[in-house]
Amino acid sequence: MKALTFKRYGKSPEIGFDDVPRPTLKSDELLVQVYAAGLNPIDNMIPAGTFKPVLKFELPATLGSDIAGVVVEVGSRVTRFKPGDAVFASLFDLGRGAIAEFAAVPESVAAQKPARLDFVQAASIPMVGLTSWQALKERANVRAGQKVFIPAGSGGIGTFAIQLANYFGAKVGTTTSTGNVELVTGLGADEVVDYKKQEFEKVLRGYDVVLGTLRGDAIEKAVGILRPGSKIVSLIGPLDAAFARARRLNFFLAFVFGLMSRKIMRLARKQDATYSFLFVRPDGAQLSEIGGLLESECIRPVIDKVFSFEQAKEALEYLAQGRAKGKVVVRMK
C-alpha cells in the first residue's frame, strides 16, 4: 500500500511516498481503510527529531496521527466493531501513522464516527479533541463560572478548546489576529485580544486556567493573568519531571526535564498556581464522548484546508507555516 513516510530524523527527513506492507492485525485491532487523515503540528515536529527521546518509531515510519475511515477487517478479540463500521481515532504515540491507505487501529482507541460528520470533518477531531478534553476536563477540572485562557484561538487546538471550555460553562479569553476576531467570538470566546494591537498580559486578569499552546515566553507572561489557586496546563512544554516519570524515562532525562521546567514552576508557585505538561494519549471512550458533543452540535469542526492524498507532503508544509484557521486535512477517498 502507499503511505507518506520519513526515513530519518533531522533537517532532511526525506519525506515522501513509499510502498509499505499492508498492516498485519493483532487480535485486538481493526484494519481501517483510511478515508481522511487530520494533520497536527506535531506531525512536522516528529521527523525533525523534536520528540525522538520520547516517541519511538521504526524507520521508515508513516506520518500522521488522526484518521477517519471504514473498518475492513477485525481481530479475533474485537467486540465493539465490525467490517463496514465508520470510525475515527488518534494513532498518536502508538508507533504507527495515519497518512496511508490502510491503518491498524487498536480497538481501545477507536470510536464510531459521528453520523453528522463526513470523513474529512471526523479526521480533523481526534488529537485536538482529546488534547482539549484531557487538559480542560481531566487535568484542570474546568467548571462553570471559571475563566480559561486559550491563546491562539483560531488554530487547530484553539478552535476546539474554546468550544469545549464554553460547553463546560467557563468564560474564555483568547488571542488572535484582527481578521480572526469574528471567528473566535463565534466559537464562544468572551474576551478576545488582538495580539497585533495589544499584549494579552496587560489586558486580561483573574483567570483560573491557562492552556499553554504557544512557544516562546507566552506561558511565562500568562502567569501574571492568573488568580491564586489556578492551573497552567501546557501542551508545548517545557517538559517536566512528572512527565518523565510517567513515561518511565531514565534518571538523566527526568533531571533534564526538571531543569527545563524549573523557571515556570517557580513563577507559578509565586502566584500560588500549579504547572504541568500534558502529552495527549489516545482514548476511544473519551473520543466517543466527544463524538456525542459533535453529533448534538454542541461543538463543530473548523477546517481550514483540505488536500488530496497526493498532496499530503504539501499539506504538511502548509501546516508548518502556522497560519491555518482550524484544521488541515488530507482526503484519501
pLDDT of residue 259: 85
pLDDT of residue 258: 86
pLDDT of residue 222: 92
For the chain, first and last CA: distance in Å? Answer: 14
Q: Dig out the grid coordinates for 9 from the structure.
A: 530524523
Instruction: Map grid coordinates 513515561 to a residue.
Output: 247
Burial class (CB in 10 A: 0-12, 13-18, 19+), 31: buried
Neighbouring C-alpha atoms within 13 Å toward the C-beta of 244: 18
CB 269 within 8 A of CB 125: no
CA dist., res. 305 & res. 319, Å (int) = 10
Report the b/e string of 271-288 with b at 16+ CB within 10 A: bebebbbbbbebbbebbe
Structural domains present in the chain: 2-125+301-331 (3.90.180.10), 128-277 (3.40.50.720)
pLDDT of residue 39: 98
CA dist., res. 272 & res. 111, Å (int) = 39
pLDDT lower than 50: segments of the chain: none
Dihedral sign for Cα atoms in the order 258, 44, 235, 135: negative
CA dist., res. 323 & res. 164, Å (int) = 22
Supply the pTM of this predicted model.
0.94
Report the b/e string of 289-309 with b at 16+ CB within 10 A: ebbebbeeeebbbbbbebbeb
CB 4 within 8 A of CB 62: yes
At position 124, the amino acid (one-letter code) is S
Residue 5's nearest CA partner among 123, 98, 127 is 98
Question: Secondary structure of the chain: what % helix, strand, coil (to 5)?
Answer: 35, 25, 40
pLDDT of residue 240: 86
pLDDT of residue 238: 83
CA dist., res. 329 & res. 177, Å (int) = 23
Beta-carbon contacts of residue 42 (< 8 Å; ≥ 6 apart): 51, 65, 92, 127
pLDDT of residue 214: 80
Number of H helices, E strands in the chain: 11, 16
pLDDT of residue 215: 74
CA dist., res. 245 & res. 236, Å (int) = 18
Would you list the DSSP string of 75-97? -TT--S--TT-EEEEE-TTTT--
pLDDT of residue 198: 92
